[in-house]
Amino acid sequence: MNFVGHHILTVDQFDRADIQRVFKVADSMIPYANRERVTRVLEGAILGNMFFEPSTRTRVSFGCAWNLLGGEVRETTGIKASALAKGESFYDTARVLSGYSDAIVMRHEMMGSVAEFAAASRVPVINGGDGANEHPSQALLDLYTIDRELKHNGKRIDQMTIALVGDLRFGRAVHSLCKLLSLYTSIKFRLISPEALALPASYIESIQAAGHEVIQTSNLQEGISKADIVYVTRTQEERFDSPEEALRYKGLFRMNQAVYTEFCQPNTVIMHPLPRDSRAEANELDNDLNDNPNLAIFRQTDNGVVIRMALFALILDVVDQVDASSRPVNWYTARRF
Ligand code: ASP
């Protein structure tokens, strides 16, 4: 794949070599994310960070990634704060914002919205999540995390067992991750959800067509028992017709230390795209796992910064210039990696 000047709208754009390229560039960003060095490679460049749907991690980490490369960020949050609320089209919004920015990250609740926006943009657009469809940068950071965690445990992505738990129907992070994992070999997928929130058939068919094993179950204990990775998700309440309907599915699967100790094999890695819903009726990933060294959720969020730096460096064609415009930092810093 040629990254330079291109949009990143779906993980369908990536093959295994592209993923390796992103991971290699992400590794080279660690000294910057770790605040050992600063680079000014994107000095003067402006990111349009356009989040028309709620976001904490994705919005802030894309902004930080751009800042860490030396650029400036302009952002808008929420539909109400933008002219989309006045009936402006994606076309007009994209034409306008792409006049102000060197790249745009965009999130919106409608499936396909970011692609429609990107078609009218004059600068590269990264999909920060389009409804229940896709979340490519999340899937890349998840896969990068899986790769690092498994290597640490002497394992590989090929042949691993992954249990995906919760709302697999509306969870866009899961959708994008399943597509990326399909590029690997002989993975055992354990899909744990209530029937109504099962992974859509089209995803299951493409996983199977790529030669992987799929078992669907609504039994958490059984599904997680041989997993190398347990990837827990939140009930995507904003995609249901009513809050009451979403409430029916909250709290059905609760990962906590007791369940981990009894049913998981040693060193099973626990992941979650976050936010985890910590309210009593849901609590799909209990705080009592916080001291479990196999809980990788905050390593995922740290990894999000280097993956997003890598995407910017690749699409803006500055990978080879990052180090040249860098210097050591001169303030106290805490290590992340
Ligand atoms: N933060 C992820 C997303 O935007 C997962 C979630 O919201 O549950 O898709």
Cα(43) to centroid(ligand 1), Å: 30
Q: How much distance in Å is there from the Cα of 198 to the middle of ligand 1?
A: 17
Does residue 152 sit in helix, strand or coil? helix
For ligand 1, say whether the CB of 169 is within 6 Å of any of its atoms: no
Q: According to CATH, what is the number of the domain 136-298?
A: 3.40.50.1370
The CATH number given to 11-134+303-328 is: 3.40.50.1370
* Tokens (6 digits) for 58: 């994705």
Taking the C-alpha atoms of residue 149 and residue 269, their distance in angstroms, rounded to an integer, is 7
The reply to whether domains 11-134+303-328 and 136-298 share a CATH topology is yes
CA distance 318 to 28: 12
Low-confidence stretches of the chain (pLDDT beneath 50): none
How many Å lie between the centroid of ligand 1 and the Cα of residue 234?
Answer: 8
Q: Residue 41 Cα, ligand 1 centroid: separation in angstroms?
A: 30
The string of DSSP codes covering 90-125 is HHHHHHHHHHH-SEEEEEESSTTHHHHHHHT-SS-E
Q: What DSSP assignment string belongs to 36-56?
A: SEEE-TTTT-EEEEEESS--S
**Helix 136-152 and helix 57-68: axis angle, to 10°?**
80
Q: What's the pLDDT score for residue 334?
A: 86
Q: Where are the domains of the chain?
A: 11-134+303-328, 136-298
Find out whether the beta carbon of 173 lies less than 6 Å from any atom of ligand 1. Answer: yes
pLDDT digits (tens, 9 = 90+) for 253-272: 999 999 999 999 999 999 99
Ligand 1 closest atom vs CA 107: 4
Q: What is the pLDDT of residues 45-89, one digit of tens each?
A: 999 999 999 999 999 999 999 999 999 999 988 877 777 878 889
Q: Does ligand 1 have an atom closer than 6 angstroms to the CB of 135?
A: yes
Distance CA 78, CA 134 (A): 19
Which ligand 1 atom is the nearest neighbour of the CA of 167?
8
Q: Whose CA is nearest to atom 8 of ligand 1?
A: 234
